[in-house]
Structure 1
Amino acid sequence: MDIRQLNYFVAVYEQGSVSAAARQCCVAQPSLSSALRQLEQELGVSLFIRLPKGVTPTEDGDKLYGHAGRIISQLQSLKASFTEPVARVKFRLGLIRALGVERMSQLLREFSNSLPGLELHLVEPDDSCDARIITPQLLKAGEAFAPIWHDNYLLALPPGSPLSLQPHIELADFEQLPLIKRTPCDAWNTLYPELVRRGIKADIRADIQTIEYALGLVSAGVGCALVPNFDNMQQRNDVDIRPVNELKLERTIGLAYPKNTNTEALTLLLQQCQHASNR
């Protein structure tokens, strides 16, 4: 096992695609695939399940991802200890919840790598900060907004739900439907008032904040939940997802920053956000 293999593995894990990882690592796809197979053979496990459109990590893949991230970080710190110290640049970035672990990890890693000496502090979006990743509804006076991602929302269903037989969900289907409320959530703020207006009463079983917990409850059969259609959502086999008709359940995520500020760190972050929006 070597650091090259671990870097390739992390790229595949975060991209959800061997071809996309090869482009990110600037290496031929066959070379990356060969290195990945060697890593699996050495560990004696399968790290990914190959799908028609990309890959999804196995439990062993999830386990290795945590170790690989720490090893790569430690190696980078080791190398940095033998170089001339650089000036520390503190940057406070406010983040709303439910942004998507994989894509945010990639964005923050690329931002950190682009600026030597960066000391990145992740804070709540209402705290004092240099920039914020938020929805347009949270924009403050004096801030500019650069869109990064546009998410559509789907309804996640427990395995075996009768609604899984339908290609899409109608609003009438929410009548007495076991439902997991997640707040804050842009889609919930659109859906719930419409259900009230139509006299449709869902059976709310839980009120939580994070997508991860919502999906865990859906997988356990507690109820259904609205979730953003992240890339890896289609690859999950523990929940079914269906679009909801009659309403546009969507959100835009972007970088909010002071209009009159032009620091090197902010300029580099804007560039990384632009790259992320083009992927």
Structure 2
Amino acid sequence: MDIRQLNYFVAVYEQGSVSAAARYCCVAQPSLSAALRQLEQELGVTLFLRLPKGVLPTEDGEKLYGHAGRLLGQLQSLKASFREPVARVKFRLGLIRALGVERMSQLLREFSNSVAGLELHLVEPEEPCDARIITPHQLKAGEAFQPIWRDSYLLAMPPGTALSLQQQIQLTDFEQLPLIKRTPCDAWNILYPELVRLDIKPDIRADIQTIEYALGLVSAGVGCALVPNFDSLLQRQDITLSTITSLNLQREIGLAYPKNQDSVSLTILRQLCKTVG
């Protein structure tokens, strides 16, 4: 057993899938899978149950996670005790909601590892900040915009419903459809005016702000919701996802920063955003 194996194990446990953990650790999936199998062989236990989409920790996996977390934390403390103190670099990054936990965690992790002494503050995009990750329509005068991601939107539905059997959803399917409205949402701003134009009236069951709450209501069978096509959502078994025809439901996400300002931290962040998109 070595530290690399434990790091991979913790990543699989926290990410919920081997593929997501491989992306998080920036390693090839076969290498991570091999290390995980070797760890299971050394311990003589099964750490995860392999599901069609993702993994589920066993009782032994839960037990190892507690030990691994403490061990890795002690190792980090040990390393830190021998490092010379570095000057703190404060950086305020404004983030809109619903950016995708997995990809944002990876970007922020790489940013923190690339800037020595970084003290990162995540704030609302309307607050004073050094840079913002936003959509183009939120851009302010004097800011440059560097694209990072382009997301398509899907309709999330409770599994087992008649509509969930359709791979593609027509606009007419929204007539009296139990629907969870989420604002602000770029896709909603495109879809709803089109439904009004066609005199299609969905059954609005809730009006909330976050994707997490929307997905919770979908999973509970309250209604359907528009969600970005994040990889993590495609692995969930408590919801069904289908595309919506006739409309181009997309949004662009990018890094906004002052045109007349620059810093080492901002330069590094801009370069990282070019590689993760």
TM range (shorter): 0.7 to 0.9
Is the alpha carbon distance of 1:77 and 1:173 closer, same or farther for their aligned partners in structure 2, counting shifts above 3 Å?
A: same
2:9 match? 9
Q: Distance between the aligned counterparts of 1:207 and 1:63, measured in 2?
A: 40
1:36 match? 36
Q: Pick which of 156-165 and 73-82 moved more.
A: 73-82
1:167 match? 167
Shift of residue 251 of structure 1? 0.4
Q: What is the identity, as a one-letter code, of the residue corresponding to 1:197?
A: R
1:58 match? 56
2:48 match? 47
The answer (yes or no) to whether the contact 2:94–2:125 under 8 Å persists in 1 is yes
Q: Distance between the aligned counterparts of 1:71 and 1:126, measured in 2?
A: 40
Within 5 Å, give how 1:62-141 maps onto structure 2: 72=72, 75-141=75-141
Residue deviations 1:196-243, cap 9 Å, x none?
111111111111111111111111100000000011222211111000
Q: Distance between the aligned counterparts of 1:39 and 1:10, measured in 2?
A: 12
The answer (yes or no) to whether the contact 2:156–2:226 under 8 Å persists in 1 is yes
Q: Pick which of 173-182 and 76-85 moved more.
A: 76-85
Q: Distance between the aligned counterparts of 1:87 and 1:233, measured in 2?
A: 39
**SS class of match (1:127):** coil
Q: Distance between the aligned counterparts of 2:176 and 2:123, measured in 1?
A: 38
Q: What is the identity, as a one-letter code, of the residue corresponding to 1:104?
A: M
* TM-score using structure 1 length: 0.86
Residue deviations 1:56-101, cap 9 Å, x none?
2326689988996786566434412321100000000000000011
Structure 2 residues not aligned, in runs of 5+: none
Q: Distance between the aligned counterparts of 2:90 and 2:24, measured in 1?
A: 31
1:210 match? 210
Shift of residue 25 of structure 1? 4.6
Q: What is the identity, as a one-letter code, of the residue corresponding to 2:89?
A: V
The answer (yes or no) to whether the contact 2:205–2:222 under 8 Å persists in 1 is yes
Q: Pick which of 153-162 and 31-40 moved more.
A: 31-40
The answer (yes or no) to whether the contact 2:8–2:25 under 8 Å persists in 1 is no
2:220 match? 220
Q: How many residues align structurally?
A: 273
* TM-score using structure 2 length: 0.87
The answer (yes or no) to whether the contact 2:18–2:33 under 8 Å persists in 1 is no
Within 5 Å, give how 1:114-263 maps onto structure 2: 114-263=114-263
Q: Distance between the aligned counterparts of 2:67 and 2:189, measured in 1?
A: 38
Residue deviations 1:42-67, cap 9 Å, x none?
4945436365xxx6232668998899
Q: What is the identity, as a one-letter code, of the residue corresponding to 1:5?
A: Q
Give aligned-pair identity as a percent: 70
Shift of residue 149 of structure 1? 0.8
Shift of residue 261 of structure 1? 1.7
Structure 1 residues not aligned, in runs of 5+: none
